[in-house]
Chains A and B, each alone.
Chain A
Amino acid sequence: KAGVTQTPRYLIKTRGQQVTLSCSPISGHRSVSWYQQTPGQGLQFLFEYFSETQRNKGNFPGRFSGRQFSNSRSEMNVSTLELGDSALYLCASSWTGKKTEAFFGQGTRLTVV
C-alpha cells in the first residue's frame, strides 16, 4: 500500500514568487491536513480538508491557501513568498481526520531566498 506522497521534495523560490505543493494521500483516505515545521515554531497546523471541504484552518495569513480534489489529492499554495516561509511542509492523511491515525508524507522542503 503506497504511503502519502508529497511533491516536490525540495524547492527553492525567490521572495515574492508563489509556490504550489502537492500531496497524494493513502488510497481511501479522505482527510488531508497540512502542517508547517520550522526549528523555531515546531509543527503548526495550516488546514484540513475532507471530501473537498476545508473543515479547519490554522492561524496563518491568507497567503496560505489549499484545496482538495475529488480524488482526495490536495494542493497548498503560498503566494507572495517571504523569507520566513522557508520550512518543511508536511501533509498527513487519515480516514476521518479525528481519532484515526494520521499518516505523514516525507514533506516538501521549501527554501525562500
Chain B
Amino acid sequence: AQSVTQLDSQVPVFEEAPVELRCNYSSSVSVYLFWYVQYPNQGLQLLLKYLSGSTLVKGINGFEAEFNKSQTSFHLRKPSVHISDTAEYFCAVSESLPGTYKYIFGTGTRLKVLA
C-alpha cells in the first residue's frame, strides 16, 4: 500500500535562509507527487506537482522540488524564505493505477519562519 512520510513535524528557520522539507513515499507502482500548503483556518493550496518528465519541478512562491525515484523522495526547497511562508506543508501521492482517484497525504511539516 502506498504511504507518505514527512519526517520533520516542525522546521524553524530564519528569514532569508534556505529551507528543505523532506518527503519520502512508498508505492509499488509509479506515482504522481504533490506539495500543498495550508495557512491557518484555510484549505490546501497546490504549490507544485510532478506527473512525469523533468525531475525538477518549479512551483509558486519560489518553491521547487526534485523527484528522486531511486530514493523515493520528493523534497521541497526554497532558497530564501519569508515570514509569509510560515504555514503547514503537506506532501501527497496519487498512484497511477487505473481506478485510483485519491491522494495519500503525509502528516505535514509546520514551517516556522523567524525574524
Contacts and interface: CB of A to CB of B under 8 A. Distances in A.
Contacts of B32: 98-99
Q: Determine the main DSSP class of B at the interface with A.
A: loop
A104 B43 contact: yes
B83 interface: no
Q: How many A residues are at the interface, by size bracket?
A: 20 to 34
A33 B49 contact: no
B43 A42 contact: no
A99 B98 CA distance: 12
Contact of A101 (B41, B43, B49, B99): B49
21 contacts: A31-B101, A33-B102, A43-B90, A43-B105, A44-B105, A45-B102, A48-B101, A55-B99, A55-B101, A56-B101, A58-B102, A92-B44, A97-B101, A99-B51, A101-B49, A103-B46, A104-B36, A104-B44, A105-B43, A106-B41, A106-B42
B63 interface: no
Nearest to A97: B101
A112 interface: no
A42 B106 contact: yes
B46 A101 contact: yes
A81 interface: no
A102 interface: yes
A82 B107 CA distance: 23
A31 B94 CA distance: 15
